[in-house]
A and B are shown apart, each in its own frame.
Chain A
Amino acid sequence: MSKLAEQIKGAAKKLLTEKKVDLVVGFTEGSLPLRGTPFFARTPEEADQLTWNLDCENNLANYLRKKPGKVAVVAKGCDVRSIVALIKENQLNRDNLYIIGVPCRGMIDRRKVAELLSGQEVLAIEENGDTLVIKGNNSSVTAKVADLLHNSCRDCSYGNPVIYDELIGELLPEKEAADFNEIKAFEAKTTAERRAFMNSEFSKCIRCYACRNACPMCYCEECFVDCNQPEWIGKSAYNVEDNILFQVVRVFHLAGRCVDCGACERACPMGINLRLLTRKTVKDVKELFNAEAGVNLEDKPVLATFTNDDPEAFLLKE
């Protein structure tokens, strides 16, 4: 990891020194154990603060739309998929973007890490190859990195950036696509059970919209929840139906566009299982159209195209 961090610094410094870009968006050391935090380097000196570790979990594609000039971005697999999807939606200009691709084995989930210390605060996390040493006040646990990954990372088969201008480190061996077992199990439940799950999950929602704001694909000038004429949705959070409506509409707006990066779920302070919904659309889009979002520049965005043999089972009633 530290080797990758050095290479990232080097690449960023070079780009800034040669004035090929105005800005490098990457990660620097954060303020919590093993936390990478988004960082914006505009000078070679600032580039020295860039880093790379197992908790660079934010999707940096989120920042790119708003940046003028030539911008380089340190991008792992899912960030690149979002970038590709945004390029195809005319939200990013490929010519103004320099992608420093980083093959990614997955980022660790701090919630899973916290569970290991059963209630004690995690004070330090040390990377040690394939294992992590997690330290609390008077205890220390060693665990496999593979067991602590975010679920989205565990299931991700696009750790290698699908496009890049420069690659840091080596491409990783191809990983097989994960199954959709969790989604299938949810689909197999009765309507009442699914409803009960949604009610209990979304009674926790505080309508902070961190999920929406963390998602690189949620970029509407005015989100439907913020609009009050017409008022599409109730603004009060005591009504779980409105909390569900918000999330369901958000997820529908992302159908065929969601790259399953998990950024929304990670951002949620209330630990709500959002990926169950987003990944359901990923599964449907895959099954219905044999498509995945952001995996190449050639395919058109799947829900923005029409072919004569599109399945339209939902329109037909026999």
Chain B
Amino acid sequence: MNSQKEKQNDSVPEWQLELDKVGFVRRLFLARKWYKGDWWFVLISAILLIFIILVGIFPQWFAPYDPREEVGPSLLKPGEKTPGFMLLTNIADNVGSFQDIAGASNKIGYIMGSQATQAFRDSLDILNAQSQQEGAGLMYQPRGYRYETAQQGLDALQAGEIDGFIVAESELGDLLADYPGIQFLEEIRSSKAESFILGTNQLGQDILSRIIWGTRIALIVGLSSALISFVIGVPLGLFSGFIGGKIDRFLTMIMDSLYAFPGLILAIAIASVLGAGMGNIIVAIAVIYVPTYFRVVRGQTLTVKNELYVEAARSLGTNMMTILTKYIFPNVLPSVVIIFSVNVADAILTEAGLSFIGLGLPPDTPDWGIDLARGQDYLRSAWWLITFPGGMVSLVTLAFSMLGESLSEILNPRLSEL
């Protein structure tokens, strides 16, 4: 009978009781029980964003190559080995390596029009770079000789007219068996690496490096245009909502029309008049998000304005700036944070869209939209030209929108009650 009387607060878990007392970090951690999935959304997107921003600030740490440099053969599949070429020499010459027959007096042969030319030049570049580093002052510059067929080349090599012959395995076939005096010395590659993780594009640029450097562009455009919209839209909304009257009605009408206008079309119009270039693109994108801030901030200002404490502050003779910054701004801040996050995502998408239709940045920029537009020409043969830059745009946009969406679920008291 008495057991019921001695009821303790055991239905309240310990961590909940402590929630008010613990520090900020721990509270964030504890909050995951309450916010469930949204908490994980925030966490995942925050981690993703930190990484993306790191990559955007220091692309050189992550990118293996210069994004504009031609570093390998064109259209190499991800992970595919760059085709190797065989360097053939006379056994009798007793050559140790390519270096030994790469002096200015040496002669090297290859087949006309073969990719071997490229490989030949690239390996020389590497040798020269090495010697320069060591300060040896040697220049490797053998003379090249072209032949119509592999057979001619081999004949010339056997006759001692040239010191070495560079040929692809496919070009050679099984001819080598007929020339017992000729040996396969070493493999010569046409690029800086054996393979590229994400492949190369049609210009032989490394896709990985390009998308890493593209992060910087996307972040610059996304963040600065969002910042500009913010700086214009928020004060305008505060001001308009606060003073009301004719000016407010006029501004609202303009902003509503601007809001209803398809953003991309507006950006297209502005960008097409201003011309290509990062600054112009940023301006074009910034314009289209001003109304979003304006509408939300104005709406909330109207509500907050009429609340008692503002009335009170006003009757005490507090000036407008103080009321706006001290009372109203903190109230609209949560929604503005959410919009900002979504805005950055949208801005990145819009930038990619503008670049895709050829209105964005100068054509040599390592930009995702530009890469996608170019990749479209190779749709049938090279899926990796499209997949990786597109994936990057999606990933970065996803991180920002996920943050915005989950924050709105958490910060919006109407939706999350309690």
| Binding between chains A and B | no
Residues of A near any B CB (own CB < 8 A): none
Residues of B near any A CB (own CB < 8 A): none
